Amino acid sequence: MTEASGTPRQLLPLYAAGFVTAFGAHSIAASLGAYTHGRHASLLALGLLLAVYDGAEVILKPVFGSLADRVGPRPVLLGGLLAFAVASAAFVLSGNPAAVGFARLGQGAAAAAFSPAAGALVARLSPKTGHGRAFGGYGAWKGLGYALGPLLGGVLITVGGFTLLFATLAGLALAVALWAAAVVPSVPPLPRARQTVLDLARRLSHPAFLRPTAALAGATAALAVGVGFLPILGATTGLAPVVTGAAVSLLAACGAVVQPWTGRARDAGRIRDGAGMATGLGLAAAGMALAAFVPGVGGLLGAAVLIGVGTGIVSPLGFAHLAGTTPAERLGQTLGSAEVGRELGDAGGPLLVGAIATAATLGTGMLGLAALLLVLGAVVAAATTPDAQGGPSRLSPK
């Protein structure tokens, strides 16, 4: 599968790239509500500002993933990080607060380039027997970005407004780009068989792609709902903002801590991909149910732990499985397409819970997502092919 073996020193800049996209997305998104309120903008404007980053990623990640396969992932990684720095710096230089939407669009397009390229490099610079640990580390750094983004973003905005936040993001992306250029080795593109649209559709409809991608989408949906709706549930039972904020931080911390452990356990043969992903989805579903049925601080913190641990189990298993069943010459395209599934889960989970909550109650909405997660887990667990359990079968290009 892999023709290179990277050292931890060479993988660290790739982990840092994952931190950049997570920190960049959440540090800005968490403060956009106050930004639009201060400018007397509508909720529609807020929704557009929130969606433009993810929208760019959904559209462009498969495109840039395919480009990484064609020219090699390292140039796409470096180009994306530099573009992220330029988009962030452009907002600072413009001096126009209304340009935040254009800046987020540029950041999202840049993240769509370096995110799948980083994932492809993690896979190609790691031995197949070490994919779990490598993707566990990558996911942990992204989880750290999700956790620190709202907190540090709020501090930076308090001190120097959005100008300081975007300047920090520009400097961070530039620093990671220079770090990666210095230590990440060049991984040349591999020869590829000609691929038609039908070949691509067949490969992306293969169970070895659909099952882990569906699991990743479900886990991301649970994470988004946990971050967005657990504070609301806590507030309805009279809990203080510091408690609900602590629950969200606990959720993110659990996810970040459990991912490297899960990856190491997978590589050691203690966790199989299908069973592990199903278990993670089941834990996240249990967290949703606990939040719905048990009011107060106990239910809230217990739900945060279950959701964080559950989603943290799914992520490294899903990506390691995809990396292990995909030909190296198609890694960028496959991982970019799988990232689209995660983005759809990120948007679809809150939409599902919000729609059910509007018609019934928020607790009912959480139970609705829990039921969906259990169904996804059952589909993954019921798979009998070697692909579902991390076997040798691969997503051939034809």
pLDDT 10s digits, 131-185: 999 999 998 998 888 878 877 888 888 899 889 999 999 999 999 999 999 999 9
CA 180 to chain centre: 20
Burial (Cβ within 10 Å: 0-12, 13-18, ≥19) of residue 380: buried
Closest CA to 211 of 331, 317, 62: 317
Q: Report, as an integer, the average pLDDT of 312-317.
A: 95
pLDDT at 347: 80
User: Are 233 and 367 within 8 A, CB to CB?
Assistant: no
**Is the pLDDT score of 79 beyond 80?**
yes
pLDDT at 390: 46
Residue 98 neighbours by CB distance under 10 Å: 9
pLDDT at 1: 40
pLDDT band at 194 (very low <50, low <70, confident <90, very high): low
Closest CA to 28 of 132, 93, 133, 108: 108
Q: Report, as an integer, the average pLDDT of 40-62.
A: 72
What pLDDT digit, counting tens, does each position of 106-131 carry? 999 999 999 999 999 999 999 888 89
pLDDT at 192: 60
Joined tokens for residue 214: 């569906």
Around 263, how many Cα atoms within 13 Å sit in the side-chain half-sphere? Answer: 26
Q: Report, as an integer, the average pLDDT of 329-353.
A: 85
Q: Of the given ranges (194-208, 259-273, 372-386), which has the lowest mean pLDDT?
A: 194-208
pLDDT at 128: 85
pLDDT at 57: 85
pLDDT band at 393 (very low <50, low <70, confident <90, very high): very low
Q: Report, as an integer, the average pLDDT of 84-112.
A: 90
User: Are 22 and 169 within 8 A, CB to CB?
Assistant: no
pTM of the model: 0.81
CA-to-CA distance for 276 and 132, rounded, in angstroms? 12
User: Are 318 and 338 within 8 A, CB to CB?
Assistant: yes
Residue 183 neighbours by CB distance under 10 Å: 15
User: Are 69 and 333 within 8 A, CB to CB?
Assistant: yes
What pLDDT digit, counting tens, does each position of 269-302 carry? 999 999 999 999 999 999 999 999 998 999 999 9
Phi, psi of 49 (to 5 degrees): -65, -35
pLDDT at 294: 92
Around 367, how many Cα atoms within 13 Å sit in the side-chain half-sphere? Answer: 9
pLDDT at 392: 41
Q: Of the given ranges (60-64, 124-128, 204-208), which has the lowest mean pLDDT?
A: 204-208
**Is the pLDDT score of 339 beyond 50?**
yes
